Structures are given as C-alpha cells and as structure tokens.
Amino acid sequence: MIKRKPSSKKCKSTKKTIKEKYEPVYITLNLHNCNTSKIYNRNRLHSQPKLECKKGKPAPPPPKPKEPKCPEPCPSCIPRRGELVINGGFENKPDQFLGWIINAGVGAIKPQYGDIPHQGHNAVRLGSVNTRGLIYQDVPGICPGMFYQLNFFLSAATKCGNKSVFILMEFLDQNRNRLHNPVLEILVPEDSLTNETFTLFINATWVPAPPETRFARISFSTDCAERAGRFVHLDDVSLIAI
C-alpha cells in the first residue's frame, strides 16, 4: 500500500498593493552662488540627479570710495567790478565825506554863496578853510596785473582863478604800504580852471598794478598859502578797471 504524500498546497499569498496618494509638496531652494532658484517635488527628489552648483566668478570687490576733491584754492585777490570809489559824488547823508580822509583844509560847498556841484547836491571845496587842502581814499578790491582809469571833475571856486591842484594815484599792499612810485601824477596848472564850470579829467594807468597790490590811494591836494581864497571844487570822482 502506497502511502501518498499529502499534497502540499501552496498558499497563494495575495499581495495587495496599497497605493497611497501623495500630495506633492513644493520647496523653493535658493542655491547660493548660482544666481537662480529651482522647484522640486519632494517625492521625486531621490530619483533626480544631484545638481551640482557651479561656483560663479567671485564678486568684484566694492569700489573704493572716491576721495573728496580738494576745493580749488581761493584766489589771492578778488577784483571788484564796476565803480570802485566809495561815495565819489559826496552825496552820502548825513556824512558827506563817508569813505574819504580829509584834513582841516577840506569842506563842503556852500550853495548860499553861489557854489554849485557838478551834479547832485554836494561837492568838495579844497583849500577853503586852511591854506592847504588834502582829501584821499584808499580804494579796496585792487588786484595785481590790472589797469585802471581815474575820472574826476574840477572847477575854480571863485573868479579869482585857482591854485595848482595835485592828483596822485598809488598802489598799496594789504598793509597799505606804498608799492613803487605813484602810477598817476597829475598836475592841474594854476588858473587853468573856470569858475563854476566843471572840467572833466580822464586818466588811465600806463602800467599794471604790481604784485601784492590790494588798494589804490587816490589823493587831491591844493596849497593856497600864497594867494588865499583861490580854492577849487571837486566832484564825481570815479575809478574803474579797464
């Protein structure tokens, strides 16, 4: 009697594949030194080839701050423009002689005695009080290398004529020391002026202002010692650069 081996039944195992749903999650990765951004699915990240970030060129160094420009040096002398004489017409009120230096031989005209100015209301009488009259002004804003023109009006104060009038123009340094000889020396001869009729004098410097010039001194003087009363009238003094 043959015993049969009990048949071995293979148990079939049923494999059930459970498919789970994965919701994709997106992550934004900022890759340094790559100047870009990529989006990856986290569920597929393992199957994606690894990305190698190539190193870019090193960033250039920041520019050096510009050194501040040194300001241009101020010019040693700034010339004034236009009319340079202060109160050249002697019209300032209440001080008729503002800007001028005078001595005791200088006074104002006297309209009650018939004196008239060239224009305006005032003028200067030279030699009216003392025997010698002197008036001058140190004009600022004068610079080296420049030429100037001096203008003024003179008349005889009386019918007796006039004594000689001396006009000087000198260049001065910043301490008001005279530089060289006078640049203008003008002599108005005796009895050359007309009573109450003004004569215009125009004079230009023939050499430029020397180095270190800062002022120009303009002076008018007359001496009536020998013949008193022959004084003169001065008005509308002007100095300009040319």
Q: How many other C-beta atoms can be found within 10 angstroms of the C-beta atom of residue 4?
A: 6
Q: Is the pLDDT of residue 170 over 90?
A: yes
The per-residue b/e assignment along 152-190, b for 16 or more CB within 10 angstroms, e otherwise, is bbbbbbbeebbbbbebbbbbbeeeeeebeeebbeeebee
Contacts of residue 85, defined as CB under 8 A and 6 or more positions apart, other chains included, come to 99, 137, 139, 218, 237, 238, 239
Handedness of CA 37, 39, 42, 46 (dihedral sign): negative
Handedness of CA 128, 95, 155, 134 (dihedral sign): positive
Rounded to the nearest integer, the mean pLDDT of the chain is 81
Q: Is 132 helix (H, G, I), strand (E, B) or coil?
A: strand
Which of 139, 150, 141, 136 lies closest to 242, judged by CA? 150
Over residues 11-22, the pLDDT tens digits come to 555 555 555 555
DSSP single-letter state for residue 71: P
Q: What average pLDDT does the segment 175-201 reach?
A: 93
N- to C-terminal Cα distance for the chain? 155
- Note the pLDDT of residue 19: 55
| Domains of the chain, start order | 23-56 (no CATH), 101-241 (2.60.120.260)
Handedness of CA 198, 204, 206, 210 (dihedral sign): positive
- Note the pLDDT of residue 115: 85
Question: Taking a C-beta distance cutoff of 8 angstroms, is the pair 84, 240 a contact?
Answer: yes
Q: Is the pLDDT of residue 83 over 50?
A: yes
Over residues 7-59, the pLDDT tens digits come to 555 555 555 555 555 555 555 555 554 444 444 455 554 555 555 556 667 77
Residues in a beta bridge with 167: 186, 220
Token duo for residue 137: 């002004």
At 228, is the pLDDT very low, low, confident or very high (cuts 50, 70, 90)?
low
Over residues 113-168, the pLDDT tens digits come to 778 899 999 999 998 666 688 999 999 999 999 999 999 999 998 888 888 999 99
